[in-house]
Amino acid sequence: MTADERKHRIEAYLQRVEFASLEELSQHVEASVSTVRRDLSVLEAAGELRRTHGGARIVTPKTDEFAFSARDTHQLSEKELIGKACANLIGSNQSVILDAGTTVYHVARHLEEKAPQIVTNSLPVANLFASANKVEVILAGGVIYPRLGVLVGPMTVEAFSKMRADVAIMSAGGITLEGVTNSHTLLIDIQRAMLKAAQKIIFCLDHSKFGRQSVSPLCGLDMVDTIVTDNRAPHELVAALRERGVEVVVASHAHSNGEEI
Amino acid sequence: MTADERKHRIEAYLQRVEFASLEELSQHVEASVSTVRRDLSVLEAAGELRRTHGGARIVTPKTDEFAFSARDTHQLSEKELIGKACANLIGSNQSVILDAGTTVYHVARHLEEKAPQIVTNSLPVANLFASANKVEVILAGGVIYPRLGVLVGPMTVEAFSKMRADVAIMSAGGITLEGVTNSHTLLIDIQRAMLKAAQKIIFCLDHSKFGRQSVSPLCGLDMVDTIVTDNRAPHELVAALRERGVEVVVASHAHSNGEEI
DNA sequence: ATAGATTTTGGAAGTATTTGCAAGATAAAT
DNA sequence: ATTTATCTTGCAAATACTTCCAAAATCTAT
């Protein structure tokens, strides 16, 4: 990789994730942190980004025109961790269905290297990859649901009904031992079609979703292969879920820092 | 392999991968790095690419109608005027198909007050209305074509084949008395489906498109109801088009009361 | 076709740039 | 205030670039 290409990759990566640590960038471009530091200095001088302690931040985030990526910095890091951990579950060259929803959005940010085929009905996710040409993104058609930037309606359901994918990465409003529920009735049909289309089902649910029930039941626990959550999820419920045969991955700082392939 | 052929292969390869190291290029064209270096110097002098430390990069991935660039101020005011004039042709509550392309994008910006039903395969247009809830936007499904932010492929064609709309607002690469042409073969099928789906066909073409011919023919003049252009369009061609029964709207500052951009 | 001239090619030597590491300095965290 | 993490600076090794030269290929004229 040339120095120039490396700088561009740093820029592109930051364009997607908005902020990244030195370590993260270093791994992403496969160069030492020293080199990344120097690159960042150059890019900062060019006005492309702004260096911060421990990393860098893009100066003009282009993905930010959505009510969607609202600044809840509180749970942001938890969703980040969940996103990273979930992305680690995905193998290379798999086809992945991505649900709409903020948590899944964070998964998408870490998926560039892994999955060349992504199917989604989320406009923010689509925008994320709109300029990345390593990933093939299929966007399901449908009517845009304004606030969320999600495509909904019969067109969307039909699109997913005709598809097959290796994995589906899903959001939901709540999970109990009785199953998974969601509040957006508009999305239920679409999510059901997603579940049918995928071989493996992963739900990304931060701790606040545990023990909660939304209005519309989505599916039972038997459909769920894996749940990725953060370390504030109630241990009893996690244990109970595991007893029911659901794999539960708890994302933590330690885990995400560890092994590389 | 001749020297000339080698240079062309280098160029074509860079067109595909954007960056390449010396070593990579050397292997690809089966020549020594020294030779590749010399070739790159020549090509750089010709403005085809830019050398970098360790390799080379294409200078620009071809500027065209569909390439969305954030800092594209080129002919901005003219496209703005065309956009406004074209939006004026649309009635309230009409269903409108919007093609991908920068000029049509500017039309979309002025369409919100009309509260139309919009169907498009353009990601930028979709983003424009993603948070506006006066407008119902239907996004056709398909594969995202990276650089352009357009949805393409059979899914997209099928989506438009099943639709009916009052108006289609279209882009194109060139127009002559022989008809309308476009350079992106990937889009031709989609555009044809759009034309079939709509009752009235409007083409938005700035003056640079007049008298130009791109590789792929799109449709004859008989299909075209209206063309919206700016006041630098060649008068003879405009007159000739009118004689053929095409309504030509020339956007000027007079018509659109001066707002800033 | 052949000998000589010209251009092109591949490589070598020397110079310049880049990279990764380490040590001291500075800023954040507890 | 102390500890930890991050940043800057300087340096040596690695890598890449330029210039030059000889061999190979191509062209030209007889």
- HEC assignment per residue over chain A: CCHHHHHHHHHHHHHHHCEEEHHHHHHHHCCCHHHHHHHHHHHHHCCCEEEECCEEEECCCCCCCCCCCCCCHHHHHHHHHHHHHHHHCCCCCCEEEECCCHHHHHHHHCCCCCCCEEEECEHHHHHHHCCCCCCEEEECCEEEECCCCEEECHHHHHHHHCCCEEEEEECCCEEECCEEEECCHHHHHHHHHHHHHEEEEEEECCHHHECCCCCEEEECHHHCCEEEEECCCCHHHHHHHHHCCCEEEEECHHHHHCCCC
Contact (CB, 8 A) for B228 and B203: yes
Q: Say yes or no: B88 and B42 in one domain.
A: no
A185: in domain: yes
Confidence at residue A70, expressed as pLDDT on a 0 to 100 scale? 39
Confidence at residue A219, expressed as pLDDT on a 0 to 100 scale? 97
Question: Who has greater pLDDT, B59 or A62?
Answer: B59
B68: in domain: no
The count of other CB atoms within 10 Å of the CB of residue B73 is 8
Nucleotide nearest to B32 (CA to C1'): C10
Question: Who has greater pLDDT, B121 or B134?
Answer: B121
Contact A65 B127 (CB under 8 A): yes
Chain B CB within 8 Å of residue A58 CB? no
SS3 B48: coil
Q: Say yes or no: A34 and A108 in one domain.
A: no
Copy the structure tokens of residue B71: 């800092």
Q: Say yes or no: A79 and A21 in one domain.
A: no
Q: Say yes or no: B35 and B156 in one domain.
A: no
Residue where one domain finishes, among candidates B32, B58, B84: B58
CA of B15 to C1' of D21 (A): 34
Confidence at residue A195, expressed as pLDDT on a 0 to 100 scale? 98
Nearest residue on chain A to B23, judged by CA atoms?
A1
**Mean pLDDT, all residues of chain B:** 89
A65: in domain: no
B178: in domain: yes
CA of A173 to C1' of C14 (A): 68
pLDDT tens profile B65-92: 666 654 455 566 788 899 999 999 999 9
Confidence at residue B61, expressed as pLDDT on a 0 to 100 scale? 53
B71: in domain: no
Contact A144 B129 (CB under 8 A): yes
Question: How large is the average pLDDT for residues B236-257?
Answer: 87
Confidence at residue A223, expressed as pLDDT on a 0 to 100 scale? 96
pLDDT higher than 70, residue B182: yes
B65: in domain: no
Closest protein residue to C27 using CA and C1' atoms?
A53
Chain A CB within 8 Å of residue B66 CB? no
| List of chain A residues with pLDDT < 70 | 60-77, 115, 133, 253-261
Question: How large is the average pLDDT for residues B185-209?
Answer: 95
pTM: 0.78
Contacts of A52 (CB under 8 A, 6+ apart): A19
Nearest residue on chain A to B133, judged by CA atoms?
A146
Alpha carbon separation from B112 to A252, B116, B197 (Å, rounded): 45, 7, 22
CATH label of the domain that carries residue B27: 1.10.10.10
A66: in domain: no
Question: How large is the average pLDDT for residues B210-219?
Answer: 93
Q: Say yes or no: B134 and B201 in one domain.
A: yes
pLDDT tens profile B4-23: 999 999 999 998 888 999 99
Residue B54 structural domain: 3-58
Q: Say yes or no: B102 and B48 in one domain.
A: no
Confidence at residue A115, expressed as pLDDT on a 0 to 100 scale? 67
CATH label of the domain that carries residue A119: 3.40.50.1360
Confidence at residue B132, expressed as pLDDT on a 0 to 100 scale? 79
Contact B138 A155 (CB under 8 A): yes
Contact (CB, 8 A) for A111 and A89: no
Contact A4 B53 (CB under 8 A): yes
Q: Say yes or no: A26 and A154 in one domain.
A: no
Confidence of residue B33 (pLDDT cuts 50, 70, 90): very high
Contact (CB, 8 A) for A94 and A199: no
B39: in domain: yes
Confidence at residue B67, expressed as pLDDT on a 0 to 100 scale? 62
pLDDT tens profile A33-64: 999 999 999 999 999 999 999 999 988 655 44
Q: Say yes or no: A14 and A134 in one domain.
A: no
Closest protein residue to C11 using CA and C1' atoms?
B34
Confidence of residue B254 (pLDDT cuts 50, 70, 90): low
Nearest residue on chain A to B159, judged by CA atoms?
A141
Confidence at residue A99, expressed as pLDDT on a 0 to 100 scale? 96
Confidence at residue A76, expressed as pLDDT on a 0 to 100 scale? 54
Q: Say yes or no: B39 and B80 in one domain.
A: no
C-alpha closest to that of B40 among B6, B74, B83? B6
H or E element at residue B195? helix B185-197
Q: Say yes or no: B134 and B246 in one domain.
A: yes
Chain A CB within 8 Å of residue B53 CB? yes
Instruction: Report the number of distinct structural domains present in chain B.
Output: 2
Bridge-based pairing of strands B165-170 and B95-98 is parallel
Q: Say yes or no: A108 and A51 in one domain.
A: no
Q: Say yes or no: A241 and A127 in one domain.
A: yes
CA of B34 to C1' of D22 (A): 15
pLDDT higher than 90, residue B204: yes
